[in-house]
Amino acid sequence: MSKAEDTFAGSDERVISVNRCSKVVKGGRNFSFGALVVAGDRNGRVGMGLGKANEVADAIRKGGDIARKNMVRIPMKNTTIPYPVEAKFGAGKVMIKPAAPGTGIIAGGGVRAVLELAGIKDVLAKSMGSSNQINVVKAAMLAVSKLESEDDILSKRGKVKKHRTEENTDETQQLEKNAGIEEKA
């Protein structure tokens, strides 16, 4: 299987909006269509694409191809995102916050599609400013692409993540030292 086929395998896509545009010419009107499509594998990868063509079906197909080519990986913490994030694209502003398990996806329209197809199960989101679907989806994609995993953040700081067993060992050694000091006294 080639890399291109691997990228397309197992991804769902959802059409967010279809826009009709008309151009007046000598013989009448020419219509063209633009389709906003979000694609994701429901496992931490999501992308969006805007396909334009003279037929709706072609526009949707092109949008899906573009969305699958432009997928980004989203770091997840269990079923939610690691920390709150905001992003703005044009006049569209999106705020996404992590939520407790069992909350579900509380988001509207295009933001909901981006988060569902990314595989995020518990999250709170608010779309502010513009109601233009294209700007809202682009702002949501910008927000989720800003997210970084805990390991990436720690490596930028030059620190190493301690595992649970190491933390317990350090605490145990400290307690044993304190107990040894008390026994000597």
Question: Using one digit for the tens of pLDDT, what is the confidence trace for 56-113?
Answer: 999 999 999 999 999 999 998 888 999 999 999 999 999 999 999 999 999 988 899 9
pLDDT for residue 161 is more than 80: no
pTM of the model: 0.78
Round the average pLDDT of the chain to a whole number and report it.
Answer: 85
Residue 155: per-residue pLDDT? 85
Query: pLDDT tier at 11 (50, 70, 90 boundaries)?
Result: confident
- Mean pLDDT within 145-166: 79
Q: At 102, give phi and psi (nearest 5°).
A: 95, -5
What CA–CA distance (Å, rounded) separates 163 from 185? 34
Query: What CA dihedral angle connects 77, 83, 84 and 89, to 10 degrees?
Result: -80
- Residue 26: strand, helix, or coil: coil
**Percentage with pLDDT > 70 across the chain:** 82
- Asked whether residue 149 carries a pLDDT value surpassing 90, the answer given is no
Mean pLDDT of 125-146: 91
Please report the pLDDT score of residue 158 as a whole number.
84
Per the document, the length of the chain is 185
**Which range is least confidently modeled, 55-59, 136-140, 170-174?**
170-174
Per residue in 33-58, pLDDT (tens digit) is 999 999 999 888 999 999 999 999 99
CB neighbourhood size of 126 (10 A): 14
